[in-house]
Structure 1
Amino acid sequence: MNGKKVLFVSSELVPYLPENPVSLMSYEAPRMVNSNGGQIRIFMPRYGNINERRHQLHEVIRLSGMNLVINDMDMPLIIKVASIPKERIQVYFIDNDEYFKRKATFTDSDGNLFPDNDERAIFFAKGVVETVKKLNWSPDIIHVHGWMASMVPLYLRKYYADEPLFSESRIVTSVYGKDFEGELDATMIDKIAFDGIDKEEVSVLSKPEYNNLLKVAVDHSDAVILAADDLSDDLKSHIDNLSVPVLPYVPLQEAEEAYTNFYNTEVLK
């Protein structure tokens, strides 16, 4: 991985959010690349339950200030940054008061999914790409973790298809066990179509539930990592039918060797 540039895009990340399979591997994978001589950038949403003072987040004025259009609405993009001290790893946070100020990640106090989670996912995907464009940083690998980041492969391959910065980038999606029950907003497919993406490309999102979000992500990826050993038969079958390299599930203690080898021999070949 020496000198290779890897962009990590994640729904969740320790130490900013509680430890779970997504947040833990979203920390461990960049740490592995960093320790093996790779260059990394990490992006995640700036949820309102992240303590900005404790984690010393601060706004990056030169990167903030643009508006992203989501379903014909102008939504201001704010970029914040912090560092994970013991690893000297910098993390970029995608922020917007309308989408991320609330003091929770994905659900309200009653456990109900936020009704605008679909728009939050689209905003996050666009926000990451636009910020990386401003940084003028061309990643060799873009590694996606978690369902809130699941629109990133689709938008890179369709909405930003002509963006030269990513023309050589290889997209890897890690697929985790089912993270939520129920569905996102039923009009999600129309909001994606508003951005000029053919509905046929995302027809499964006529039912925007967890497995279908991940199907869209892996369909637009160059490689897939199975990050859980309890995936549904439906999702496993879908991945089995893809013509891309797939890394079977490995436990965390074996991940460094397996991931590094997968990056080098399957993703970057």
Structure 2
Amino acid sequence: MKKILFVASEAVPFIKTGGLADVAGTLPKYFNKKEYDVRVILPKYLAIPEKYRNEMKYKTHFYMDLAWRQQYVGVLEMVYNGVTFYFIDNEFYFTGAKPYGEIYQDIEKFSFFSKAVLSALPLIDFRPDIIHCHDWQTGLVPVYIKDTFMENPFYHGIKTIMTIHNLKFQGIWDMKTVKDITGLNAYYFAPDKLEAYGDANYLKGGIVYSDMITTVSKTYAEEIKTAFYGEGLDGLIRAREGSLVGIVNGIDYEEFNPETDPYIYKNYNARNFRKEKIKNKRALQKELGLDVNDKKFMIGIVSRLTDQKGLDLVDYVIEELCAEDTQLVVLGTGEEKYENLFRHYDWKYSNRVSANIYYSNERSHQIYAACDAFLMPSLFEPCGLSQLMSLRYGTVPIVRETGGLKDTVVPYNEYEGTGTGFSFRNYNAHEMLNAVRYAKHIFFERKREWNKLIDRGMAADFSWNHSAGKYEELYDRLLS
């Protein structure tokens, strides 16, 4: 039995700010239980819903040195969906309404967390063969293992994997403070280790010291070797490319299932969507105050409203996008300029644009089920999950060819009758607009072809089973 420990700063259903939580919370239950014992450890935030906190059982506690301070470390445990989760408890670090706060506080908080995870291992009776770290918050785990814990035979032979979910976030702070917080030897603060451009960089430490590096799609693994996507670390990524693997994320096919989804107006499946899916469109049109009309081309956007998501392209051609035969439904929050952009067009064209400037899981499911197409023109997208959800619901994705979008959406080819969506290559507003217009043309003029696109999209398998198989191969390779 191979023992794997996921170390992450968030995991569903306990706490979530992004796709990382889906991976850390959902992926473990898809491994082959006969061969892999996969467990997860994360902070016990005060923000975790009380119903889960009440189910956690006390396991142990101890005091740990963090540089010159002594800190309390409590360990709690809970089994959820057949997976064991551990929680590191410390009220000084993990109070507050959100998992992350000011970066200078997070730098200390996740240094504490990384060291506490390793310190707790001998006491929880679980010695992993592999510690699988996720994002910069756990970047110090591979560093500490090679440093502070090296003398203890318990840790000998434990392998580490670093998964980069988004290279933009690296955990950077000034060197003097990080030396003081982490208690690491000055040896580690050199340009070939933790130092980057004069500061200390947690993610860089994780990339340098882990045995393998993964990221969340094959294309993103290639892109981050270049200066444009490399966020200042492309040289290091190229130096370690022999240890770099891209594995695309999945989605939970039980939760995202149009046949059983409790949130949508009318359930349907791959056999009957031609008759039943449209009922979701009519119901959403009615609820949002849009024209109830089957002949409108309904485009959905469910997203953080930020530059990364390509919304400046939308801004540039929004008048053309909101043509009379089109409806646009937006859900999400983010930068004020984009929130106001969509509010303005909701006011200007209230019968064809609906701006929902908040986040609601229920509303997102309704949009995946109701829309004809789903727009994701991202500047960069390590993996992206929304396009996988839209494929699952028979809503045709229109995406830019970057990162995971390029790996998961096959562009429509009308001559070969292949593809699951529409794509454009260059980061250009009119190229995006052309892709939307081409999609509209197929939708209005070639309905049978459109329905075949949906058939192929709904038949594609982006469940976690697929990803879990790839990770199992990686673990086997690392342990052989």
TM-score norm. by structure 1 comes to: 0.83
> In structure 2, how many angstroms separate the alpha carbons of the residues matched to 1:186 and 1:53?
40
1:97 matched to 2:91:
yes
Equivalenced residues, count? 254
CA deviations on 1:206-241 (whole Å, 9 max, x unpaired) are: 424xxx322110111111111253753233442221
Question: Aligned residue for 1:115?
Answer: 104
Distance 2:203 2:2 in 1: 26
Match of 2:475 among 248, 263, 269: 263
Contact 1:46–1:93 (CA<8 Å) still a contact in 2?
A: yes
Q: Equivalent residue for 2:194?
A: 202
User: Which of these residues, 199, 208, 211, is aligned with residue 222 of structure 1?
Assistant: 211
Q: State the alpha-carbon separation in 1 of the partners of residues 151 and 104 from structure 2.
A: 32
**Matching residue's letter, 1:77:** V
Q: Which has the higher contact order (CA 8 A, sep 6+)?
A: 1
Say whether 1:67 aligns with 2:279: no
CA apart distance, 1:243: 6.5
**Residue aligning to 1:79:** 75
Residue in structure 2 matched with residue 246 of structure 1 by the alignment: 244
**Which SS does the other structure have where 1:104 is aligned?**
coil
> For the structure 1 residues 4 and 117, does the alpha-carbon distance in structure 2 shift closer, same or farther, using more than 3 Å as the test?
same
Moved more, 73-82 or 173-182: 173-182
Give 1:140's aligned amino acid. Answer: D
> Given that residues 162 and 206 in structure 2 are in contact (C-alpha distance below 8 angstroms), is that contact kept between their aligned partners in structure 1?
yes
Amino acid at match of 2:469: E
Aligned amino acid, residue 25 of structure 2:
Y
Which 5+ residue runs of structure 1 have no aligned equivalent? 108-112
Aligned pair 1:16/2:38, yes or no?
no
**Change over 3 Å in CA distance of 1:206–1:117 after alignment to 2:** farther
Tell whether the 8 Å contact from 2:194 to 2:204 is kept in structure 1 after alignment. no
Q: Are 1:171 and 2:130 an aligned pair?
A: no
Which sections of structure 2, spanning at least 5 residues, go unmatched?
251-461
Aligned: 1:213 with 2:425: no
* 27-36 vs 150-159, which moves further: 27-36
Give the partner amino acid of 1:103: A
Q: TM-score scaled by structure 2?
A: 0.49
Mapped to 2, the partners of 1:9 and 1:207 lie a distance apart of: 24
Percent sequence identity over matched residues?
Answer: 21
Deviations 1:33-69 (A, max 9, x none): 35453112211011221123345343525x21x2122
Determine the structure 1 residue equivalent to 2:140: 151
Greater shift in the superposed pair: 22-31 or 177-186: 177-186
Preserved contact between residue 57 and residue 80 of structure 1 (Cα < 8 Å): no
Do 2:248 and 2:467's aligned partners in 1 also have CA atoms closer than 8 Å? yes
The CA deviation at 1:10 is 0.8
CA contact (8 A) 2:4 2:130 kept: yes
Contact 1:68 1:123 in 2 (8 A): no
